[in-house]
Amino acid sequence: MRKALYSILALWLTACTSPLESPTVLRAFQQPATSQEVIEFVERAVVSSDNLYHTYIGHSEGGTPLVAVHASDTYEYPDNKLHVLIFAQQHGNEQSGKEALLLLIRDMANGMYNHWFENLELWIIPQLNPDGSDMNERRNAGGIDLNRDHIVQLAPETRALHNLFREFKPHVTIDIHEYFPFRESWAEFGGYKYFDVQVGIPTNPNVSEELREFALRKALPHIENHLNDKGFSFHNYIVGPAPNLGRTRHSTVDFDDGRQSFAIQNALSFIYEGINGQDGYIENLERRTIGQYEGIVALLDFLHNSAEETRNMVNTAQQNLKEAKPGEKVAIRMEHFPDGSTLMLPLTSSKTGLDTLVVVENFHPVVQTTLEISRPNAYLVPAGDHQLMEFLELHKLVIETTADLDGKVITRYFIESIETSIDEELPNRLPRVVTQTFDGNELTGEYVLVPTTQLHSNFLVSLFEPQSMLGLAQRPGFEYLLREGEEFGILRVE
Ligand SMILES: [Zn+2]
């Protein structure tokens, strides 16, 4: 009994006196950190630092607490700093993002980045999908792909992330993933991408152009230079099959993911795609982790140095949404197009292992709008539709009463027919519509008024227009909104 007590005491003393180190480093990267170890590590880190606090933002589907670290020189949220939200491992089988954030938390606890706190305030979620991580599975314990769940938000993990976003109001978000370059079509082609880190910026044309340009022209080159200096390779995020078997483009335009769901609210949002291992798990985990770490440090350094400029730019872009003008154009259908450039894609030959440059002819780098619509003053949502009411509540959308609609022009859509359209390789339903306008004093039935002068302005137009390829009617559970030969339930106030 006494012996057992002594060994517990010895363990406790070791834990308290040994320098803070990630469990994965202590195992020489032979095994990634479990969800339990992540929590224990964070709890040790915050005890050893004056600049780190932690909280639990909710529970996963499987009941695991979701831990988040608040890194700041004050517990309050000062308004004069740039707020940055970093989250990793929405996909449980992408281990290196979590490992990189543990190293970042370690180095913050050790005081290495104290100078950042002059300008930056951070929230860090090292793993959003702990259950998936422990099983090395992409989806959460309920079988949901979290990074396709940012609109309907069926998963508690996604809801917890958006609650934190609403509370903390980050100017910048960084969503950490991994890509898997070793697919069969690439092996057959004879080579694969080997970039240590790809970084993507918002691609939806409704996101502030100034923010997209700033990310592309200023942030990405800084990240690339830093990674190259540290011996890692970088590329602007590209997706597609092996060269010339289909289009190569800059990922998706949808805002159902961790990057663009915040970008559509004009936060400056990034996605990191570190390289995965060929075993989809621990192969090269040390290099993968350090690569992600250096990529994140590069961006935080950049943000530290441009904090005021970034904060002002985001504040202005968000204020523009809150004061959005009716009649402005909003893109509701769009597609990646070629711009005449060819992509010289560096690949590693799967036969010789040597690096080679491949010309990609079928490169579609620019997004063009194929259908736009004028922004209404507001939308009228039928109060008797419980699913839509829950949706408004889920996103904490600003709503108003319908008291003074007299004299206002209301537009109603009638769905004549529906055909299938393929956009960005994905089928969606494209209705043929006719519109009818009438005076607000003729409105019958109970409605909730949702003004378009709010942070979710472009989000609302993109979701509530029946012809939008990214509309709510295209999403799981809301297909009923589009029915041939019927009225569309949501009305416009012009
Ligand atoms: Zn992912």
Successive 10-residue mean pLDDT values, the chain, 494 residues: 51 63 98 98 96 97 98 81 98 98 98 97 98 98 98 98 97 98 89 96 97 98 98 96 90 95 98 97 98 98 98 98 97 95 91 91 94 98 97 97 88 98 93 97 95 98 98 96 97 98
For 184, residues 6+ apart whose C-beta sits below 8 A from its C-beta are none
**What is the Å distance from ligand 1's center to 241 Cα?**
17
**What is the Å distance from ligand 1's center to 385 Cα?**
34
| b/e burial code for range 458-472 (CB count within 10 A of at least 16 → b) | bbbbbbbbbbbbbbb
Tokens of 288: 């993968």
**What is the Å distance from ligand 1's center to 79 Cα?**
32
Q: What is the pLDDT of residue 8?
A: 53
**What is the Å distance from ligand 1's center to 218 Cα?**
25
**What is the Å distance from ligand 1's center to 164 Cα?**
20
**What is the Å distance from ligand 1's center to 257 Cα?**
10
**What is the Å distance from ligand 1's center to 277 Cα?**
13
267-to-201, 311, 316, 321 alpha-carbon distances in Å: 11, 10, 11, 11
In the chain, ranges of CATH 3.40.630.10 domains: 2-322
Instruction: Identify the CATH assignment for 2-322 out of 3.40.630.10, 3.40.190.10, 3.30.110.70, 3.40.50.20.
Output: 3.40.630.10
**What is the Å distance from ligand 1's center to 453 Cα?**
33
**What is the Å distance from ligand 1's center to 377 Cα?**
37
**What is the Å distance from ligand 1's center to 179 Cα?**
7
**What is the Å distance from ligand 1's center to 271 Cα?**
9
**What is the Å distance from ligand 1's center to 180 Cα?**
9
**What is the Å distance from ligand 1's center to 422 Cα?**
24
**What is the Å distance from ligand 1's center to 204 Cα?**
19
Interatomic CA distance for residues 296 and 285, integer angstroms: 16
Q: What is the pLDDT of residue 15?
A: 52
**What is the Å distance from ligand 1's center to 358 Cα?**
25
Q: What is the pLDDT of residue 401?
A: 82
**What is the Å distance from ligand 1's center to 177 Cα?**
4
44-to-106, 172, 263, 448 alpha-carbon distances in Å: 10, 27, 33, 48
User: Which neighbouring-strand residues pair with 242?
Assistant: none
**What is the Å distance from ligand 1's center to 86 Cα?**
14
Neighbours of 241 (CB within 10 A): 15
For 390, residues 6+ apart whose C-beta sits below 8 A from its C-beta are none
**What is the Å distance from ligand 1's center to 448 Cα?**
37
